[in-house]
Structure 1
Amino acid sequence: MTTIGENKLTIEDIYNVVFRGKPVTISDKAMSAMYGSYEFLKEFSRSGLIYGINTGFGPMAQYRIDAEDQINLQYNLIRSHSAGSGKPLDSTFVRSLMLARLSNLSRGYSGVHPDAANILSSMINKNITPLVLEHGGVGASGDLVQLAHLALCLIGEGESFVDGKKVPTKEVFRDNNITPLKIHLREGLGLINGTSAMTGIGLVNVLKARNLLCWTVFTSCIIAELIEAYTDHYSKELNSVKWHDGQQRIAAIMQQLLSDSASVKKRADHLYEKEIVEKVIQEKVQEYYSVRCVPQILGPILDTILNAEKVTINELNSVNDNPVIDVASRSVYHGGNFHGDYVALEMDKLKLAVTKLSMLCERQLNFLMNNKLNGRLTPFVNLGVLGLNLGMQGTQFTATSTVAENQSLSSSVYIHSISCNNDNQDIVSMGTNAALLCNKVIENTYEVIAIHLITILQAVDYLEAQDRLSGITGKMYRKLRQIVPVFEKDDIMYTRINEVKNFIQQLRLDDLWLAQEEHAEAAGATATL
């Protein structure tokens, strides 16, 4: 059970509610804060001019709204802004944005009646997912269009998904004994004016990116084993003199994963402590960058993921609507907390980092495919008859084209502001677009890593290296081999790719799921992502 409004929500809370379906409850403290905010605003707005309660919205804020029309104003806002287009957002995104909006309301700075929070929490707990469409948000004045679709369902209109089936929300509420929200005062603007859509999507992206990084560390480690790489490139001694936390942490994890490997080798044993007499050294002195520079490449990616997590968690726990109702000072403050630049910039940075991660995977994959580079595998890791069988050749085209798409998607969204709303919103964040494009790159990268993993499995079997793998990499090899058995004859590959992709998308929160406790203790290491 995740309690809203008591402590700062964490990435663990997002994981538990969004991916594990854990229920939420609203603390008494939060209920009291919301009710106090609502009562204060109701009284304050009787004499003061408050944006969005007794005025119009945006450039029409100069128009005063009569008392008898103020409730209709909120309904009009919700219905008119339920104007999205494109595909429905994935249910994980919608559950995450619902949690983000509930967190915002629970702070007691929105002037929204607690009924809205109660209905929202009931929908989360009953796994009712509002229809929210992907296109519509410009990310300043918040995610108005996406959140309007959420608000539309709260008032019992629009459509929702139950068990994957789209149903009119009115019927869903009737079947689940939920009374639609009745507008009390500010429930239109208070529900849609904020960054909850981009934040919700961004938090899911962070969790998925962490998982991708774990798999990339795994692929990098097992490739080091396949080519019998030297240990110094991930050694503490080498990486501790480069003052970047991410690099040092990646190196420490690699040390942990490969601590009991029988394949990697110490440089001193081969090049330092014996006489080298030949003019042309047959044994490779240094590995290719895609093997040797893994801590330096994945380190900044880890740092980027961690910073994106910090920023999106801060946004999750922030008050991000307008105006802000401050009961303590008995005043209402107008400003721009709805502006999504923090999230938008982090999603652009995260997208760049994941694209670079996919490029590393593609280069490692190319190294395995090209026998002239690796010097120990067949072309395309072909376990069949050369010439007659094609091995992994066809899958490389898919990986290469997918990485190319990632590269083309990786230009910044954050800087592509377009003025709108009669130029009232003259500079905007495009945060939801940034988050959705980041997710596209993440999904693409899962496909690349799935192809990479199948190729690695074939390489292990060709080299008969199963017994020389570390305890952890060997365990993951055996798990993956249950999905994709050894194959020599050519077969249809897309089904195998999808099966592996589905497996690796199963998120675990303990990040370094590769490193079981017994292995970590044996290695004397505590490194985690």
Structure 2
Amino acid sequence: MGHLRIDGEHLTIKDVVDVARNGLLVELSQEAVSKIKKSREYVDSLVEKEAVVYGITTGFGKFSDTYISKEDTKALQRNLIVSHACSMGNPLPEETVRGVMLLRANALAKGFSGIRLETVNTLLEMLNKGVHPIIPEKGSLGASGDLAPLANMVLVMLGEGEAIYKGERMPGREAMLKADINTVELTSKEGLALINGTPVMAAIGALTVYDSLNIIKTADIIASMTLEALKGITDAFDERVHKARGQKGQMITADNVLKITEGSNLTSRQGELRVQDAYTLRCIPQIHGASRDAIYYARDIIAIELNAATDNPLIFSEDDMVISGGNFHGQPLALAMDFLGIAVSELANVSERRIERLVNPQLNDLPAFLTKRGGLNSGFMITQYSAASMVSENKVLAHPASVDSIPSSANQEDHVSMGTTAARKARLILDNVEKVLAIEAFAASQAISFREGAVLGKGTRRAYEEIRKHVPPVENDRIMYVDMDKLDKMVKSGAFVKAVEETLGELE
């Protein structure tokens, strides 16, 4: 495996996934090295002449008017880290921590932060050797960035805190020693450069967006299976209908469904069996399409943030300027992540209603609860309960975090974004959505097994075959969660998308 060369300008969501999940190694570009060195030289000159500059020769937040002598700069930076390491709760997943480390290093590579090159290299060495700091998930207000969780990350760089190394949780100093990485002693501006920014919410956001792009395609595939299982009407997906409205996501979804179901003898035309279907079938393009557009919006916001300078102050050495601003404020991500959470929750909302149409004999011509001997067998009755439970939970989780703000630092920081909370919620919502879609796939495949002489569409056939590799039809009641868990893993891994795209080519 090669190296990813970062320069603060060209990082992509796919790069984040490759580093976070696949262990891709990371190094600085030569241009980034030059920019970091130049910025650091300028900071050293400011300290030497005892200029009054926020975060370099002053305290932080409400203490910004307190001057710090150059003799105390190292103590100032260490105190910043230990005092700000106030996160609590369960540790963030290791893949998220890897994403956080990558994004912080990439922001520093832009050359606006005034950090020493060796400090950035220590962070990258930890990433490449698998020293993953324990970062508790709760404690960020999303402005001044992700201060508390990032401070927990930096503790390990100092030989403090805790880390996971080779699957084992241990003191930070021990992890650094075992990985043969030297700890650092921070000096002027470095602590602030490391913890003032948005990499936690951005890392969670990048991974969630990536998985959401998989889930919107997966939702189209699984909905297409249900459409066939219920002999749905394909006229509602006619290109002319969707061009007449013009919404991009809607047109993509309709096109996907027609491609996936092409060749099926289960789908019907309007007037053959009924004039029109219920909304959960007929309006798949409108519902999935709106979520698709929202996911694309979140993707675009995250793509920008991956290459953003988000600490404060920013060093513009060529202009002999240090400017205090607010790029650490997570509002762009907070709104995008709230929107993403709402958008993907709708995919589960409509999926659960399709599950109900599959299991309820009053709504279809299939055996009640998809079992041949109902009464003796409960069949798929409780799978719908489980889906309904997760959909209801998502309704609670989808409440936007960004509408709240609690002032901090004695009202110096009097509006905060709650962007990290928004990102964490979106992640939780997505997990529920994946599980609900897994249940729909389970029920749809069971319903299809009752359709004698069925010829499935080009795409649905591949999805159905993929399911049957792992989950046979349910003849008599069995332990259902085992199959549901298998399907959840298939949804998460992108197995449905991969199988269908092998036959149809790439779906949008």
User: Does the alignment reach a TM-score above 0.5?
Assistant: yes
Structure 2 counterpart of 1:109: 112
Q: Pairwise CA RMSD of aligned residues?
A: 1.7
1:500 aligns with 2:487: yes
Note if contact 2:35-2:109 (Cα within 8 Å) is conserved in structure 1.
yes
Describe the superposition over 1:198-232 as per-residue Cα deviations: whole angstroms up to 9, x where unpaired. Answer: 11111111112122212210111111212222222
Out of 373, 376, 382, the residue aligned to residue 388 of structure 1 is: 376
Out of 401, 410, 417, the residue aligned to residue 389 of structure 2 is: 401
Structure 1 counterpart of 2:254: 251
1:468 aligns with 2:455: yes
Structure 2 counterpart of 1:182: 185
Change beyond 3 A, Cα 1:171–1:74: same
- Whole-Å separation in 2 of the counterparts to 1:421 and 1:32: 35
Structure 2 counterpart of 1:317: 307
Structure 2 counterpart of 1:371: 361
Change beyond 3 A, Cα 1:514–1:296: farther
Structure 1 counterpart of 2:424: 436
Note if contact 1:261-1:469 (Cα within 8 Å) is conserved in structure 2.
yes
Out of 327, 331, 337, the residue aligned to residue 347 of structure 1 is: 337
- Whole-Å separation in 1 of the counterparts to 2:492 and 2:328: 32
- Whole-Å separation in 1 of the counterparts to 2:95 and 2:59: 34
Structure 2 counterpart of 1:513: 498
> Once structures 1 and 2 are overlaid, which stretch shifts more, 68-77 or 88-97?
88-97
Out of 468, 491, 497, the residue aligned to residue 481 of structure 1 is: 468
Note if contact 1:6-1:29 (Cα within 8 Å) is conserved in structure 2.
no
Note if contact 1:247-1:296 (Cα within 8 Å) is conserved in structure 2.
yes
- Whole-Å separation in 2 of the counterparts to 1:295 and 1:413: 28
Shift of 1:146: 0.6
3-state DSSP of counterpart to 1:188: helix
Structure 1 counterpart of 2:144: 141
More helix by share: 2
- Whole-Å separation in 2 of the counterparts to 1:388 and 1:512: 36
Amino acid paired to 2:380: M
Identity %: 34
Change beyond 3 A, Cα 1:486–1:517: closer
- Whole-Å separation in 1 of the counterparts to 2:29 and 2:264: 50
3-state DSSP of counterpart to 1:104: helix
Shift of 1:373: 0.7
Note if contact 1:380-1:392 (Cα within 8 Å) is conserved in structure 2.
yes
Out of 16, 26, 29, the residue aligned to residue 27 of structure 1 is: 29
Out of 10, 15, 18, the residue aligned to residue 16 of structure 1 is: 18
Describe the superposition over 1:165-207 as per-residue Cα deviations: whole angstroms up to 9, x where unpaired. Answer: 2111211211121111221322211100001111111111111
Out of 409, 413, 421, the residue aligned to residue 409 of structure 2 is: 421
Structure 2 counterpart of 1:523: none
Note if contact 1:218-1:514 (Cα within 8 Å) is conserved in structure 2.
no
Note if contact 2:131-2:176 (Cα within 8 Å) is conserved in structure 1.
no
Note if contact 1:89-1:131 (Cα within 8 Å) is conserved in structure 2.
yes
Q: Which runs of no fewer than 5 residues in structure 2 stay unpaired? A: none
Structure 2 counterpart of 1:45: 47
Describe the superposition over 1:368-422 as per-residue Cα deviations: whole angstroms up to 9, x where unpaired. Answer: 0111112x21111114x11100001122111111101101121111011011111
3-state DSSP of counterpart to 1:404: helix
Out of 64, 73, 77, the residue aligned to residue 74 of structure 1 is: 77
Describe the superposition over 1:111-136 as per-residue Cα deviations: whole angstroms up to 9, x where unpaired. Answer: 01112221222222222211000111
- Whole-Å separation in 1 of the counterparts to 2:502 and 2:479: 38
- Whole-Å separation in 2 of the counterparts to 1:126 and 1:443: 29
Where do 1:193-212 residues align within 5 Å? 193-212=196-215
3-state DSSP of counterpart to 2:412: coil
Structure 1 counterpart of 2:275: 285
Amino acid paired to 1:100: L
Note if contact 1:256-1:515 (Cα within 8 Å) is conserved in structure 2.
no
Change beyond 3 A, Cα 1:489–1:285: same
- Whole-Å separation in 1 of the counterparts to 2:60 and 2:280: 54
1:307 aligns with 2:300: no
Note if contact 1:382-1:389 (Cα within 8 Å) is conserved in structure 2.
yes
Q: Normalising by structure 1, report the TM-score.
A: 0.92
Shift of 1:266: 4.2
3-state DSSP of counterpart to 1:332: strand
Structure 2 counterpart of 1:2: 4
- Whole-Å separation in 2 of the counterparts to 1:337 and 1:252: 40
Describe the superposition over 1:44-67 as per-residue Cα deviations: whole angstroms up to 9, x where unpaired. Answer: 233321111111110011111111
3-state DSSP of counterpart to 1:160: strand
Out of 328, 336, 339, the residue aligned to residue 338 of structure 1 is: 328
- Whole-Å separation in 2 of the counterparts to 1:512 and 1:233: 23
- Whole-Å separation in 2 of the counterparts to 1:344 and 1:167: 33
- Whole-Å separation in 2 of the counterparts to 1:154 and 1:252: 51
Describe the superposition over 1:220-247 as per-residue Cα deviations: whole angstroms up to 9, x where unpaired. Answer: 1111212222222112111111111111
Q: Normalising by structure 2, report the TM-score.
A: 0.96
Shift of 1:503: 2.2
Out of 432, 435, 444, the residue aligned to residue 447 of structure 1 is: 435
Note if contact 2:9-2:307 (Cα within 8 Å) is conserved in structure 1.
no
Q: Which runs of no fewer than 5 residues in structure 1 stay unpaired? A: 272-282, 521-525
Shift of 1:298: 0.8
Describe the superposition over 1:21-55 as per-residue Cα deviations: whole angstroms up to 9, x where unpaired. Answer: 22112111111111111111111233321111111
Shift of 1:261: 2.5
> Once structures 1 and 2 are overlaid, which stretch shifts more, 5-14 or 195-204?
5-14
